[in-house]
Structure 1
Amino acid sequence: MRLRTLGALAVEGAGLKREKVLLLLAYLCLEGPQPRRRLADVFWPEAANPMNSLAQHLVHLRTLPGALHEEGSRVEAALPCDAAQMREAARSGQWEQAVALYSGPFLDSLTIPLGADLEEWVFETREALALDMRAALLTLGGQVAARGNTAEAGALAARALMLPAAPPPDEAELPRLYHLLNLSAHPLAAQVERDARSLGVPLDSPAARLVAAAAPFVGRAAELGQLTALPPGSFAWISSPGGMGKTALMDALNRAGGWQLLTGSPEAQAGRPYAMLAPLLPRPVSTPGGALSAFASGRLKVAIDDWDSVDEASREVLTLAARQATSSQPGGAVIVVTSRRHPPFEVRTHLTLGLLSPEDVMQPGLHALTDGHPTLVGAALRGQPLELGQGAKVRALPPELRDTFLLLALQDHPDLRATRAALNLQADAFARILSALTVEGLTSETGRVYAAAAIRQSLSAIYVQSQLLHLRLARALPPETAWPHYAAARDLWEGTDDTRIASVAAARAGALIRRGHPGEARVLLDSLPAWPELAVPHAWALLGAGQYAEAFRRLDALTPPHADAPATLAARATALVRLGRHAEATALAGRVTGTGAEGAQAASVLAHAARIREQWDEARRYSRIAADLWQLNGDEEQHLSELGFVALARVRLGAAPAEAFDALLERARGLPSVRGTMLVNYVQLLLDARQLEAAEAAMREAVRELEVAGDVLGLASVFINLGVSLHLQGHLKEAAGYYKRAIAQLRGTGSIRPLGLALSNLSEIEGDLSAFEDVMEMLERAGQHELVASIRRNAQVVSRFPPSSLQS
């Protein structure tokens, strides 16, 4: 027996007709065990003796064998109910079963009056079940649309839209309804469009614009061709992680015609031997040999989707069939089986499915958006947000797997060791979780999440949870990669994080400075508290950006012991030499001893001061010392950079530019920033030597190297040097063009010194004295007094062209 409540109210196989009695049974079926007192109060709130009324109705229910289970004061229904089965099917994703069970609105045939509480329960349950039905219809519509059947998709969507007892579609349902109706050119699409417009719901999202009328089954042409060409007696196995298109491939075979597609679930087949093979068996069989005879015909083609859903008895028969296929005289049916795992027996044809290639995914930008993951490609083509392609699967994961997945999704290149540390997992447990995520098709074997950007975007909407995940990851990652995650978790920092945050921020700033982005490093460190641990890296960022006075003030504010640290002394000496205070810089650098990085920086300061004084032998000696110390500390880039200054000093002492630089430039290959900067100095020396052709070739090479390195300051330096050279030769229009290119490079870098030099020289050419003075004031405010004095000494307003002729 079963209680029917959808579209009718009756117990199948019984003559019980009393509506109130059946309503009581429906309530127990859907709400679970109930105290007698609650039932009496809900069903007979105004009766003189509610408990007596309940007792009378329970007497009628006891006439149904096994309908009730009573224990003390509690009553429980023990009869199957179509509404309960439909709700469970919908919640477990068995959409077709849910649709088959829904034969009409819940308790729509009731004619008896109801109390307020009971009436509210009936209407709320009716609406909730109708919404479950709409979700099932829309999901099925999306699936048939994915297989290319747009007419059926439109029919399902129309049924969902017009579903009795369901409330009007909401803002999440309207786009899905419109997509399915519009695919099939259904007349109801216009109504949905009007409803969406009146509610302000957009139907033209970026994802929806990727929708194509063709089925989302893309690629797999080679695999499909191989399967359709299998000769009689073949047994093929298709394996892949979840979501890679095994089911879609089976559906495509089915659409090709002539194939028998078998699917099932262990629950539906429980206790039924040969349940999976039942559609092939003309009569009940009791032995594996009897079932195997179903595969005797060479005209039969069978596709079995998901080995794990095959019952044990059918597996035994399929194993026998696979052995026959590998024998010397195979014959009989063609059999294709899919699984998430490799075959447990020998097969001659084994296909493994992976990500789709860019050639498979024809829509522009879709492969980059989805990584070629078939599930995500299908979601995008159906107009769904990408995270929905995996969202339900992720939400169903156990907490440890879900947290691992989300932490991996926050990283473009996952650090597995740090992720494991953030989760506090043992190696074997972490390996099992990674394997499970890979089998589910959520990550690659290296832990990379497919379409991670879409997952991160959806995570960002859960602000605090997202920050907490970033913080856990930041605490576990190495300093050179942790900063973006600390930055994303800023609101959740704790006092115990301060020391590590300072270390991580310093590492991040150092990396930015080495890549030629000191302005970004300055902005990063400006945003943090004035921790003494960050003073030196902050000063180096300011120095790189040309803000020498600010760098000196940052260091000058330190107190012992930080003020007396060798790293601080070396950075202060550098700031002083850049400010033109050479004697103070030399004295301070002389206080730095040792062979560490600070000693190398101090020697570099002494070399710089000697170059300013044009004491080239001393400059060469100190640059050589600095280079040796950088090499001793294992910093090859700094070692070669300093050797570039050794070469410069050698040329000033009489060596030919090529003799000093050629071997060094060859050693610097593969280090584009170092080599580009070295070429900038080389170009200037060639220009001074009037070797114009060689200078031009070296300049072009410098630009290429610095562009590869992304070194904006180096590029700006090239353009300024070329501008100055042309400026001095009287080629004002060409010089102005190079100054403008330098200014374009410097925008947003915060590098005041080179920007001021380019602006002042440009305003000098254009004869704009007002602009010239504005630049001088900006440089004065930035503490660039030495540069201002130098510019004023050399400045000549020599414009021979009207300003308009100099625009480029």
Structure 2
Amino acid sequence: MTLRTLGALSVEGVTFRREKVLLLLAYLCLEGPQPRRRLADLFWPDATNPMNSLAQHLVHLRGLPGALAEDGPRVAAAMPCDAAQLRDLTRRGRHEEAAALYGGPFMDALTIPLGADLEEWVFDTRDAMGQAARAALTALAAQAAAHGQRVRAGELAAQALTLDGAPPPDELDLPRLHHLLTLAGHPLAAQVDRDARSLGLNLSAAPAPVSAPFVGRETELSALSSLTPGQTAWISGHAGMGKTALLEALARSGGWTVLPGRADPPYATLAPLTGAPPTTPHAALSALRDVKLRVAVDGWDTTDPATQGALAQAAAARPGAVIVLAGRGHPPFDVDLHLHLGPLTPEDLRAHPDLHARTDGHPVLVGHALRGQPLDLRLGARVRAYPEHVRDTFLLLALQDQPNLRATRAALNLDADTFARTLASLTTEGLTSETGRVYAAATIREHLHQIHVHAALLHLRLARALPGDAAWPHYDRSRDLWEDADETRAAHAARQHAQAQLKRGHPGQAAALLDTLTHLPALAVTHAWALIGVGRYQDALNRLTALSAHDQQVSDALAARAVTLIRLGRTDEAVALADQISGSGPDAAHAASVRAHAARMREQWEDARRHATLAAQLWNLHGDDEAQLTELGMVARAQVGLGEAPDAVFEPLLERARGIPSARSRLLLNYVMLLGALGQHGQAEALYPDLMQALQDAGDTFGLANVHINRGVDAHERGDLTSAAEQYRAAITYLRGTGNTRLLGVALSNLSEIDHNLSAFEDALTLLAAAGQHDLVAQIRRNAQLTTP
């Protein structure tokens, strides 16, 4: 429950209407614990027995759960009160919440007579609450003005001026309200001007609104607006981090004088405050004695030493004015508030979707984007003016999403000291973060790649310095400039990059990369594994067959060839190759798996179980949990063939694989397919949602395509052609860009059969035949219901 005193007098959730009881509760909420005697004398000064009157009212308060906390002779409130909340919110600078909480004058609905002291307290509290709400509205209006929202600023200032329950605005309120109303062209500006003249105040017209976009920084604006006379604040940040924009926003919010830092003559920066530059330190300090003055100096680094000394003395002496100083470095003396500006956060830019992704929150780039200007408008010109080693450092860093500083230094052939100084300079200039990451690097790369040869040379320098996998994207960008010595290292980098893609479950990307490097024999085996992953078995076999006779007999080539042959259904050849592999390495695990698959195809379930168990043990030896669980799935399949129940052997494996999404999705896929093959369609159907979620979690597009094709075949065989077509189309969507010709050909041929599109059917079979899937083509022709020409 909350006590409501602003606008209405009530307790939320109850129908309690005793005004004096609630007034007593409000007094305790706002003034804190009180002695009983003081309460009695204040509330019942003319009563015969004030303590008895107090006791009767406390009885009523005890009837409100959680209203009172009594401790001997003292009484306190334990219930929240909106007036106390408003006071707390304004003290903490939470202006929006404070303004929303104000529902009207404090205790405006009281109808009971009050003693003189209590009545004075009610009126004083009413004025204080109204003034707090006005301050909140004025702060919101100033923030709106700072962000260029003139109409909104005028509306809020008008609310503050005419706020019911607030006292008339004083000589501190009137200048700010006049500024905000004039900025918005609001008709109430003239009334404020008249009120000010009646008080002997001269109000200057509001400055023209600045067109520069300004977003974010609400917290910083609020903190600066909350400074009190005599306090000093410091704003630091690298170049381009928005120090000047923040001070311009302060000027638009009203009541601030912003002075640009000047290098000469002495005290020239302070000249606007006195009409002419002060001539002595005492005169300079005197210019800062006005408690109504709120002054900001933009550019401490360019301000003359005499003015710096005067401002440092003012920060210590606190002569009266509020002082804000902006510089690139940290404050050289003690200040009351230090704000360090960095890039804007995604939350700062929430009103502008995608802007943070384009600019990395760099304030200069944000401003360019909001104006519709190129993001490199200023940065590009600055970079071109730098010495060559500074420019190339910046560009090499821009070519990397996560810069490798050691490799970048090696690529530039710079000593550690020169490189550190260069990086520090780029950071100070606001071009890079402290970690070397370039702001809006994608835009810089886009412009750089238009200068093809220079960009390729920079990529090559990086590729030669970066380790393995990270080097390949840069080798790829610089192929035209490779020298003989680069061929071997580039092949090594490409293999590592492709292997990383295979491990992440992206064989299509690995195959696409290695398709462009077929002239490099060192990549043949890795290429074959990628081609196997996308179902291009004949291409994988051709790649391996092109190896020299010696290279074909190497263990990893034998393993890849054996797996390719087993996928093509050439069982005897696959097993013969697998038998040539010895040892206990990964190749031996592949060989055991090939023998297990061959036994499964022959329905020799005991042999399949034995070989799959050996493969699982070998993968366990090498710490590959995913491969081990995959082979244990084959063991489970063989156990089902030997008579065990599918759920008894698969469910423990699925539980064990919960922490390995890819293995779990594959196990679940095999389990569901097996249930369907055994005719347990109801159980299989119940598992489909879990299966689809597992495949999506693992990012297994092949598995998802397989599921849709199998469900399409089931619907096809039942005669539900509409559902079958939907499943085939879903499978085709998942297969897009994967390079899996086998599954794509199956989906296309089945779909064209449903559509009775003979031409499309033949095109699909031609696609499969070109990929070496001749057995599959023959099977589809046998099953097809279309007339084959």
The answer to whether TM tops 0.5 is yes
Deviations 1:370-402, CA, capped at 9 Å, x for gaps = 222211111122332001142233234443332
User: What letter is aligned with 1:653?
Assistant: L
Match of 1:685 in 2: 674
What is the match of residue 466 of structure 2? 477
Output one character per residue of 1:82-106: Cα deviation in whole Å (capped at 9) or x when no partner: xxxxxxxxxxxxxxxxxxxxxxxxx
Instruction: Tell me whether 1:446 sits opposite 2:432 in the alignment.
Output: no
Task: Say whether 1:501 aligns with 2:490.
Answer: yes
Matches within 5 A, 1:695-710: 695-710=684-699
**1:528 maps onto 2:521 in alignment:** no
- Alpha-carbon distance in 1 for matches of 2:406, 2:638: 47
Is 1:316 matched up with 2:309?
Answer: yes
CA contact (8 A) 2:268 2:277 kept: no
| 2:591 match | 602
2:759 corresponds to 1:762: no
Q: Distance in 1 between matches of 2:786 and 2:531?
A: 34
Distance in 2, Cα, partners of 1:768 & 1:681: 32
Deviations 1:267-291 (A, max 9, x none): xx2xx44343344457776654453
Contact 2:270 2:278 in 1 (8 A): no
The match for 2:242 is 245
1:339 and 2:327 are equivalent in the alignment: yes
What is the alpha-carbon distance in structure 2 between the residues aligned to residue 768 and residue 250 of structure 1?
Answer: 70
Equivalent position SS for 1:521: helix
1:746 aligns with 2:735: yes
Q: Indicate the structure whose relative CO is greater, using CA pairs within 8 Å and at least 6 residues apart.
A: 1
The offset of 1:250, in angstroms, is 1.4
Whole-angstrom distance in 1 between the partners of 2:249 and 2:756 = 74
- 1:300 and 2:297 aligned: no
Q: CA deviation at 1:466?
A: 1.0
Is 1:647 equivalent to 2:618 in the alignment? Answer: no
- Partners of 1:701 and 1:373 lie apart in 2 by 43
Equivalent-residue separation in structure 2 for 1:286 and 1:760 (angstroms):
93
Contact 1:474–1:482 under 8 Å retained in 2: yes
Q: How far did 1:571 drift?
A: 0.9
CA 1:247–1:323: 2 relative to 1, 3 Å: same
Aligned residue for 2:751, secondary structure, equals: helix
> Distance between the aligned counterparts of 2:262 and 2:210, measured in 1?
31
Query: For residues 304 and 224 of structure 1, what CA distance do their matches in structure 2 show?
Result: 16
Offset at residue 691 of structure 1 (A): 3.8
Change (3 A) 1:433 1:599: farther
Instruction: Report matched runs for 1:37-48 at 5 Å.
Output: none
**1:229 counterpart = 2:229:** no
User: In 2, are the aligned partners of 1:723 and 1:739 still within 8 Å (CA)?
Assistant: yes
Judged with a 3 Å threshold, the aligned counterparts in structure 2 of structure 1 residues 301 and 594 are, in CA distance, closer, same or farther, namely same
The one of 628, 647, 650 aligned to 1:661? 650
User: Please, which of 556, 563, 573 is the counterpart of residue 567 of structure 1?
Assistant: 556
Aligned-pair CA distance for 1:484? 2.1
Shift of 1:233: 0.3
CA distance in 1, matches of 2:384, 2:609: 65
Residue in 1 that maps onto 2:165: none
* TM-aligned CA deviation for residue 683 of structure 1: 0.8
Greater shift, 508-517 or 469-478, is seen at: 508-517
User: Cα deviation per residue 1:115-153 (whole Å; 9 max; x = unaligned)?
Assistant: xxxxxxxxxxxxxxxxxxxxxxxxxxxxxxx99799xxx
Structure 2 counterpart of 1:526, which letter?
D
Question: Match of 2:700, as an amino acid?
Answer: D
Q: Superposition pairs for residues 103-122 of structure 1, below 5 Å?
A: none
Shift of 1:365: 3.2
Alignment of 1:146-225 (within 5 A): 215-225=212-222
Q: Give the TM-score normalised by the residue count of structure 2.
A: 0.69
Q: CA shift at 1:237, angstroms? A: 0.6
| Residue 620 of structure 1: how far off its partner (Å) | 2.0
| Residue pair 1:250, 1:305 contacting (<8 A) in 2 also | yes
Q: Contact 1:355/1:371 (CA < 8 Å) preserved in 2? A: yes
8 Å CA contact retained: 1:620, 1:650: yes
Q: Which amino acid aligns with 2:316?
A: R
CA-atom RMSD, angstroms?
Answer: 2.9
Q: Which runs of 5+ in 2 are unaligned?
A: 1-145, 151-208
- 2:536 is aligned, of 547, 553, 560, to 547
Shift in Å at residue 243 of structure 1? Answer: 0.9
- SS at the partner of 1:722? helix
AA partner of residue 416 (structure 1):
L
Relative to structure 1, is the Cα distance of residues 772 and 259 closer, same or farther in structure 2, using a 3 angstrom cutoff? closer
- Equivalence map 1:424-439=2 (5 Å): 424-427=413-416, 429-439=418-428
Structure 1, 709-718 or 496-505: larger mean CA deviation:
709-718
Deviation at 1:670, TM superposition (A): 4.5
Query: What amino acid is the match of 1:248?
Result: A
- Is it true that 1:627 corresponds to 2:624 in the alignment? no
**How far apart, CA to CA, are the structure 2 residues paired with 1:643 and 1:432?**
57
Worse-matched range after superposition: 345-354 or 284-293: 284-293
Matches of 1:444 and 1:697 in 2, distance apart? 52
Structure 1 letter corresponding to 2:313? L
The whole-number CA distance in structure 1 between the counterparts of 2:509 and 2:307 is 65
Listed one character per residue, the Cα deviations across residues 449-506 of structure 1 (whole Å, up to 9, x for unaligned) are 2211111111111111111111222222332233222221121111111112112222
1:232 Cα offset (Å): 0.8
Distance in structure 2 (CA, Å) of the matches to 1:260 and 1:773? 80
2:715 matched to 1:726?
yes
Counterpart Cα distance in 2 of 1:214 and 1:705: 52
Distance 1:317 1:582, change over 3 A: same
Task: State whether residues 542 and 550 of structure 1, in contact with CA within 8 Å, keep that contact through their aligned partners in structure 2.
Answer: yes
Cα shift readout 1:399-434 (whole Å, capped 9, x = no counterpart):
333222212212223333433332334555544443
Over residues 633-665 of structure 1, what are the superposed CA-to-partner deviations in whole Å (9 max), with x where a residue is unaligned? 233322222222222222222222222222322
Question: Aligned partners of 2:384, 2:664: CA distance in 1, in Å?
Answer: 51
2: CA distance between counterparts of 1:632 and 1:467?
A: 44
Cα distance 1:250–1:411, how it changes in 2: closer, same or farther (>3 A)? same
Cα 1:478–1:641 change in 2 (3 A) is farther
Task: Provide the secondary structure at the position in 2 that maps to 1:241.
Answer: coil
In structure 2, the CA distance between the partners of 1:666 and 1:429, relative to structure 1 (3 Å rule), is: farther
CA distance in 1, matches of 2:599, 2:761: 31
- Aligned residue identity for 1:601: H
Which runs of 5 or more residues in structure 1 are unaligned?
1-145, 151-211, 326-330, 800-808
Instruction: State the 1:773 CA deviation.
Output: 4.8
2:343 is the counterpart of 1:355: yes
Distance 1:735 1:557, change over 3 A: same
* CA deviations over 1:154-194 (Å, ceiling 9, x no partner): xxxxxxxxxxxxxxxxxxxxxxxxxxxxxxxxxxxxxxxxx
Matched with 1:737 is 726
Which whole-Å deviations, capped at 9, do the CAs of 1:168-222 have from their partners, x for residues lacking one?
xxxxxxxxxxxxxxxxxxxxxxxxxxxxxxxxxxxxxxxxxxxx99641222233
Aligned to 1:261: 258
Q: 1:411 and 1:669 mapped to 2: Cα distance?
A: 35
Distance in 1 (alpha carbons) for counterparts of 2:262 and 2:738 = 61
In 1, distance between residues paired with 2:446 and 2:763? 44
Asked whether the equivalents of residues 266 and 277 of structure 2 are also in contact (C-alpha less than 8 Å), the reply is no
The 5 Å alignment of 1:768-783 reads 771-783=760-772
Aligned to 2:76: none
CA–CA separation in structure 2 for the residues paired with 1:265 and 1:757: 76
CA contact (8 A) 1:767 1:797 kept: no
Q: Deviations over 1:685-730 (max 9, x none)?
A: 2223444343224322232233344332221111112223333444
| Structure 1 residue identity aligned to 2:220 | E
Question: Shift of the alpha carbon at 1:585?
Answer: 1.0
Q: How far has the Cα of 1:296 moved from its partner?
A: 2.1
Match of 1:135 in 2: none
- Aligned residue in 2 for 1:91: none
Aligned-pair identity in percent equals 57
Give the superposition deviation at 1:261: 2.2
**Following TM superposition, by how much is the alpha carbon of 1:555 offset from its aligned partner in structure 2, in angstroms?**
1.1
In structure 2, the CA distance between the partners of 1:766 and 1:221, relative to structure 1 (3 Å rule), is closer
CA distance in 1, matches of 2:778, 2:149: 78
User: TM (normalized to structure 1)?
Assistant: 0.67
